[in-house]
A = this chain, B = another copy of it.
Amino acid sequence: MAFPKKVIIREVGPREGMQIEKTPVSTEDKIRLVDLLSECNFPVIEVTSFVSPKWVPQMADAELIAEGFKRNPGTEYQCIYLNAKGIERAQATGKFDLEGVLSIIASETFSKKNTNRSIEETFDEMDQRIAVLNEYRVPISSINVMTAFGCNYEGNVNPQHVIQLISRTMEKADVHGINPDRILLGDTVGWANPVSTEYLVGEVQNKWPDKTIVLHLHDTRGMGMANAFVGLKMGVTHFDSSVGGLGGCPFGGSQGAAGNIATEDLVHMCHELGIETGIDLEKLMEVTLVAEKILGRQLPGKVAKGGSLASYRQIPSR
């Protein structure tokens, strides 16, 4: 397959990154970061999580963030929630483009540790999940498979197991007359390599040629950008990433490791390959440096320090 003409990059730093970062970040700074990212003209920004502050204290200020940030008309603003309570909280703010997601974790151990449910229990609850989403009129748009390539507890995940999980989720959805457009393959703990990425993306494309694949890549072992390149080469149009590579990996022994792939590096690679993103890269690189100041540490992203190639081409005397 050929490169897509344009890709949709969802910035997940304010939510996923901030949830994992250990440095406490003020509500003001969180809002500032969302606003600065909005100015970069992202198609989608994941802003925060409406989950129990008991479990995720970093997101206790979700309402304040929602109240504080300014919506950019060209941007979709998403958030995470786990149940009806979370949806109500998110909807009450009036600031979000709520998306309904059917999530499944491919690793049994990871599922139990992270959601306190086995894979089977997740399926058992899915009808209820769908009913709640319907009740609150949240359109169900995506099937998300986390740890789709492997996990630190169980090692490699069999791609056919992932295909089965997606099939079963689709059957569940179908019973309710729902047909989600997107399939998200989450490399939650950085187990994908370029060959396994090519294989799993290929399997999903073959089985569901009409679905949009979303690659959610982490750079835990330095293969994230190579995996993204393989995805682009296979025509994948949707990617998740975080500004600066903000975040980390809190799971099973990889503490201190890199988090999501860095948005600005992904945007830069796309532009170098002639793929549009609609994102203002030079502005985004400035935001990366602001994010580093907010967190008081260097983030793993590269191009904000190296300078974009476009900028060097434009200013020969630089």
Contact = CB atoms under 8 A, between A and B. Distances in A.
B222 A269 contact: yes
A278 interface: no
Contacts of A307: 152, 221, 253-254, 257
Contacts of A172: none
A303 B298 CA distance: 17
Copies of this protein, total: 2
Main secondary structure of the interface of A (DSSP, over half): loop
A229 B312 CA distance: 25
Contacts of A94: none
A316 B205 CA distance: 31
A59 interface: no
A223 B191 CA distance: 19
A226 B241 CA distance: 16
Nearest to A310: B155
Interface size class of A (residues with CB under 8 A): 35 or more
Given A225-B223, A312-B152, A306 B195 contact: no
Interface string A91-102: 000000000000
Contacts of A220: 302-303, 306
A306 B187 CA distance: 14
Interface in A282-307: 298, 300-303, 305-307
Interface of A: 150, 152-156, 190-191, 193-195, 219-223, 225-226, 228-230, 249, 252-254, 256-258, 262, 265, 268-269, 272-273, 298, 300-303, 305-309, 312-313, 316, 318
